[in-house]
Amino acid sequence: MTLDPSEVGGGSDPRAIEETARSEGRNVPGTPADSAIAWPRKVIDVIRRWLPNGHLVAQTKPVAFVLVPSIRASQGTPLELLDLPLGRSLEPGSIYLCDEGMRRALLPRDPAATVEQWAADLRSVGGGHLPTVVYSPADGLLVWYSKGLDGPDRLEQEVEIGVGRPVTEAELMAQLDRLHVKRWVSPSLAGVWDNSDKWVPVQNAERAFQDQVSLWCDAVFERHNVTTEVGGPGGRCDVFLYPHVASAVGSGVIEMKVLRAFHFPESGGSPTAVPARENVAAIRKGIRQAFVYGRRSGCDVSLLCMCDMRKVDDDAIVAPFLFAADKFKVAMCRYFVFASDEAYRVALTKAVLPE
Amino acid sequence: MDHDGDGSDYSPAPEEFLAPQTPTLDETLGRVYSGRPLPALYGRAWLLTLLACAEGFGLTPIPGDLVHGMGLLADGLAEVYKVPSPDRAVLKSDRLPFFPSLQWDLDRLLVQGLLESWTVDRESGGLQTVYACTETGRSMVNLLDGSPLLRQAQPFLKEVVAALADSSELDAETIAAGDSTFAAPARVGSVLDFGEWDDPRFHNYALRTTEAFEKANTRGLPFGRRDRVHLYAKYLVHVGRGAA
C-alpha cells in the first residue's frame, strides 16, 4: 500500500512513514515506559545481547544491574552503548549502575574477587534499596528486586538464551504453572496483597499480575515479542505474544482476571466485599475477551488466566464455563493465591495427608 | 481578576508592566500562550516532568536546543494520548524550534533550584547551555502526581522521553528537519498552528503521521498509542538519515 502525500500533509515524508512502519513495527517496546517492569525487561534484553560474546556461563560469580535515579550524579567508570555489546563481555562479579534507557552504565567498583565481596559492594552502591537485577550465570537465574535486595519484593526466573520456546497452549500453561509455584502461591512473594490478613488485593491487582506474566514470558520466549495492553476493535488485550523473528513458532493472547473476596471501589475509599456473581461475570467476560482478541489477531492460543484471591480454593466457580470455553477454544487456568503462609502450609499437608 | 476565561479579554493593569512581579507575569504569559483554561503553572510542571524523565533515562545534561526539540515532540504528540499540551503553535524558523514560554519556564525552574545548567563547548564550535534536573526537581515531580491533570500526562511524557532515549541519533536538528509540523512548507516567521486555534485533526501533522503508520502496518495487530509515539521517533531518524 502506498501513501498519498496529501493523506498526511505538512512536512511529512510518506515513504519514510511506510518504511518506518514496516521495518520498525515489531521493534517497539512491549511495555509502557512507566511500568515497573519496563526496566528489568531492558536488562533481560541487554543480558541476551551480551552473553553470546562472553564466557560468563562458566562463571559462578553473579553480575548485578542497579537502576540509579541519576546516572549523571553517580560515580564510576563509564561504559557507553550498553545496548550494543561490540565484542565486549559482561565481567563476572561486576556491578553496573544503569539508567532507565540502558544506553550507558557506570562501573562503580572493579569486579569483585568473591561473591561475599560482590554482595558487600552491591549494598555499598545502593543495591539494598534501589531496583536491582541480579543475574547468576551458573544457573541462568535472574532475580528482580523491585525495591532493592533488602526490600520485600523479589521475582526469580530463568532467562533463556538461544532456546526460543514455541508459544503453544501446553507451553504457556506450563510457564504459568511455574510462575504460580515460584511466586503467586506464597503471600510473602506474590506482592499482590494490600492486606492479606483480610483478603484485600492491591489496587489494580490485574495490572500487577499482568506485569509479572509479561516479564516472565519475556524471559522465556526469546523469539517472541511480549506486549501488553494491545488495543484494537473489541477492546484491549492484556498480554500478547507474537513472533519477533521468522523462526518463532506460534502466537498467543493471555487475558488476566482476578477473582477476589474484596476490592477497592473505583470511587475510592475502603475495600468492600465482592459478591460471587461479580467473579462469575469476570470469568464470562474473560472468555469472551480471550476469544475475541485471539481471533482478531489470528493467534494459535487464547488463554484465560484467573488469579484466585478468594478466601477458599474452590474450582467449582469455573465448572459452568468449561463447555463455553471449549466451544470458543479458550484455554482456562485458575491459580489460587494463598493469603497466608500458614494457609499454604495447611494446603500442602492436606494434599499429602488428608484429615 | 478572572482566572477561568480563555484570556482573550484579559487586559493587564498598567502597574503589572510597570512593576512586574514574577507570579503576575507568569499568569499573564500562561494565559497568553496557552489560550486555554489550563492551570497557570501547567506548562512549567510539564517541562519539569520531561526533564526529570530525561534524567532517569540518562539523557542529561541535555542541550537547550534539544529541550525545545523535546518540547516540540511532546506538544505535537500529546494529541495521540489525548492529553492537553501547554503549547500548540510554534514559530516557523529556518533553524530550530524555539518556544518562548518554554524558555521562560526553563529559566524559572533554574532559579527555583529544580533544574541546573552550565555551559559546555559545542562540537561545531562556540558554547551551548546544557540542563539537568536536580534531586529537588525529581522530588517535586513525585509531588505533581497529586494533580489529576499531570497524573494523566506523566505516562505520556515518560513515553516521549523513552522514545527519544531509544533513538540515539535524535538531536534538535534531526527533530527540526523531520517533524511533520515544523518541517511543513511555510514562510519563515509564520506561526505553525497545530491545535491552538486550528483543528489538530487536520493541522497537527505529527499526529497525522502517527495515524498514517497504521496504513503500512504489517505486524498483524494495530499500533497502539505507545507504538505510535515510538514509531514517530524512529520515523524522525529515518527522515534524518535520508536527508544526510
Instruction: Give the one of A12, A20, A69 whose C-beta lies nearest to B234's C-beta.
Output: A20
The residue among A97, A128, A161 that closes a domain is: A161
Decide if pLDDT at B196 tops 90.
Answer: no
* Least confident residue range of A35-44, A150-159, B175-184: A150-159
What's at A30, amino acid-wise? G
Is A10 among the domain residues?
A: no
Angle between helices B22-34 and B100-111 (to 10 degrees): 150
- A103 contact residues in B (CB cutoff 8 A): 57-58, 165, 168
Quick check: B223 and A70 CB within 8 A?
no
Q: Which three cell numbers stand for residue A169?
A: 497452549
- The alpha-carbon gap from A355 to the nearest alpha carbon of chain B, in Å, equals 52
Q: How confident is the model at residue B27 (pLDDT cuts 50, 70, 90)?
A: low
The enclosing domain of A143 has a CATH number of 3.40.1700
Which pLDDT band holds residue A347 (cuts at 50, 70, 90)?
Answer: confident
Cα B150–B155–B158 angle (5° rounding)? 105
As a whole number of angstroms, the distance between CA B105 and CA B59 comes to 20
Q: State the complex-level ipTM.
A: 0.86
User: Do residues A187 and A316 both lie within one domain?
Assistant: yes
Q: Cβ contact (<8 Å) for B215 and A3?
A: yes
Q: Do B242 and A16 count as a contact with CB atoms less than 8 A apart?
A: yes
Cα(A184)–Cα(B172) distance, integer angstroms: 46
Sort out which chain B residues have CB atoms less than 8 A from A14's CB and list them: 212
Q: Residue A42 and residue B57: Cα distance in Å, rounded?
A: 12
Average pLDDT, integer, range B131-154: 92
- Residues B83-107 have pLDDT tens digits of 999 999 998 888 899 999 999 999 9
Average pLDDT over residues A18-33: 91
Query: Cα distance from A19 to chain B (closest Cα, Å)?
Result: 8
- A17–B212: do the CB atoms touch at under 8 Å? yes
On the question of a cis peptide bond just before residue B61, with omega within 30 degrees of 0, the verdict is: yes
Nearest-CA distance from B19 to chain A in Å?
Answer: 40
Question: CA torsion, points A273, A277, A282, A287, in degrees to nearest 10?
Answer: 160
pLDDT at A355: 63
Identify which has the larger pLDDT, B206 or A341.
B206
Is the same domain home to A180 and A281? yes
Distances in Å between the Cα of A154 and the Cα atoms of A133, A237, A311, A343 are 10, 26, 24, 21
Q: Which residue reads 552491591 in cell numbers?
A: A122
Lowest mean pLDDT among A247-256, B20-29, B114-123: B20-29
Ranking B44-53, B131-140, B173-182, B195-204 by mean pLDDT, the lowest is B195-204
Residue A56 pLDDT class (50, 70, 90 cuts)? low
Instruction: Determine the pLDDT at residue A259.
Output: 95
A230 lies within 8 A of chain B by CB: yes
Instruction: Give the 3-state secondary structure of residue A78.
Output: strand
Q: Which of A25, A73, A229 sits opposite B219 (nearest CB)?
A: A25
Residues 37-96 of B with CB under 8 A from A: 55-61
* Cell numbers linked to B55: 534524567
Q: Is A20 within a domain?
A: no
Question: DSSP character for A113?
Answer: S
Query: Could you give the CA distance from residue A119 to residue A143 in angstroms, rounded to a whole number?
Result: 14
Model pLDDT, residue B9: 46
Answer whether A101 sits within 8 Å of B242, measured CB to CB: no
Instruction: Please give the pLDDT value at position B8.
Output: 41
What's the CATH number where A252 sits?
3.40.1350
Examine the domain organization and report whether A213 and A275 are in the same domain: yes
Tell whether A152 lies on the interface with B, counting CB pairs under 8 A: no
Find the residue in B nearest to A225 (Cα): B219
Q: Is the domain of A178 the same as that of A307?
A: yes
- A13 to B239: CB separation less than 8 angstroms, yes or no: yes
Question: Which DSSP symbol is given to A56?
Answer: G
Is the pLDDT at B19 greater than 50? The verdict is no
SS3 A332: strand
- Residue range of the domain that includes A352: 163-355
Residue A104 scores a pLDDT above 90? no
Contact in structure between A22 and B218 (CB atoms under 8 Å): yes
User: Taking CB atoms and an 8 Å cutoff, what residues of chain B touch A245?
Assistant: none
Would you state the pLDDT for residue B2?
Answer: 37
The total domain count for chain A is 2
Give the residue from chain B lying closest to A105, CA to CA.
B58
Average pLDDT, integer, range B114-136: 92
Distance of CA B231 to the CA centre of its chain: 18
Q: Which residue has the cell 520531561?
A: B50
Reported as type and span, the H/E element at residue A334 is strand A331-336
CA pair distance A299, A281, nearest whole angstrom: 24
pLDDT of A350 strictly over 80: yes
Q: Are B73 and B97 in contact (CB under 8 A)?
A: no
Residues B217-237, mean pLDDT to the nearest whole number: 91
CB contact under 8 A, B56 and A70: yes
Cis ω for the linkage preceding A187 (within 30 of 0)? no
- Which residues are within 8 A (CB) of B154 and not within 5 positions of it... i.e. 6 or more apart? A34, B49, B141, B144, B145
Mean per-residue pLDDT over chain A, rounded? 88
Whether pLDDT at B170 is above 50: yes
pLDDT at residue A268, as a whole number: 72
**B14 falls in which pLDDT band (50, 70, 90)?**
very low
Chain B contact present for A17, CB below 8 A: yes
**Given a cut of 50, is residue B20 above it in pLDDT?**
no
In contact, A122 and A66? CB cutoff 8 Å: yes
Instruction: Say yes or no to pLDDT of B5 above 60.
Output: no
Let me know if residue A270 belongs to a domain: yes
A207 within some domain: yes
- Tell me what percent of the residues of chain A surpass a pLDDT of 70: 95
Q: How far apart are CA B19 and CA B33, in angstroms?
A: 21
- Given a cut of 50, whether residue A337 has pLDDT beyond it is yes
- DSSP single-letter state for residue A76: S
Residue B210: closest CA among chain A residues belongs to which residue?
Answer: A17
Same domain membership, residue A156 and residue A40: yes
* pLDDT at residue B15 is higher than 70: no
Residue of A nearest to B216 (CA): A18
Q: Which strand (E) or helix (H) includes residue B202? A: helix B200-203
Q: Do A247 and A276 belong together in one domain?
A: yes
Distance CA A280, CA B152 (A): 32
Strands of the sheet containing A237-243, edge to edge, are A224-230, A237-243, A252-260, A301-309, A331-336
- B172 phi, psi to nearest 5 deg: -60, -40
B98, B106 Cβ separation under 8 angstroms: no
Q: Do B224 and A231 touch (CB under 8 A)?
A: yes
Residues A199 and A301 in one domain: yes
The per-residue pLDDT for A185 is: 83
Is the same domain home to A203 and A331?
yes
Question: Amino acid identity, residue B21?
Answer: Q
In a domain, A1, yes or no: no
CA atoms within 13 A on the CB side of A261: 18
pLDDT at position A235: 78
Assess A16–B contact: CB distance below 8 Å, yes or no.
yes
Quick check: B162 and A10 CB within 8 A?
no
B133: closest chain A residue by CA: A70
Mean pLDDT of all residues in A192-211: 88
- In this structure, is residue A21 part of a structural domain? no
Q: Are residues A241 and A119 in the same domain?
A: no
Query: Model confidence over B31-48: pLDDT tens digits?
Result: 555 555 677 789 999 999
Hey, are the CB atoms on A34 and B155 less than 8 Å from each other?
yes
Considering the domain architecture, whether residues A243 and A255 belong to the same structural domain is answered as: yes
In this predicted structure, what is the pLDDT of residue A317? 94
A100 and A244 inside one domain: no
Q: Does residue A349 form part of some domain?
A: yes
Chain mean pLDDT for chain B: 85
**Min Cα–Cα distance to chain A from B226, Å:** 7
Q: Does A8 touch chain B (CB under 8 A)?
A: yes
3 state SS of A29: coil
Q: Same structural domain for residues A350 and A255? A: yes
Residue pLDDT, tens place only, A258-289: 999 998 877 777 888 999 999 999 999 999 99
Using the Cβ of A147 and the Cβ atoms of chain B, whether some distance falls under 8 Å is answered with no
Q: Which of A161, A194, A209 is the last residue of a domain?
A: A161
Q: What is the pLDDT of residue A164?
A: 79
Domain boundary among A161, A191, A212: A161
pLDDT confidence of residue B23: 53
In a domain, A23, yes or no: no
Instruction: Supply the pLDDT for residue B4.
Output: 39
A34: chain B residues, CB-CB within 8 Å: 154-155, 158-159
**Residue A296: closest CA among chain B residues belongs to which residue?**
B221
Lowest mean pLDDT among A209-218, B13-22, B130-139, B180-189: B13-22
Tell whether the model's pLDDT for residue A121 goes beyond 50.
yes
Q: Which residue has the higher pLDDT, A2 or A32?
A: A32
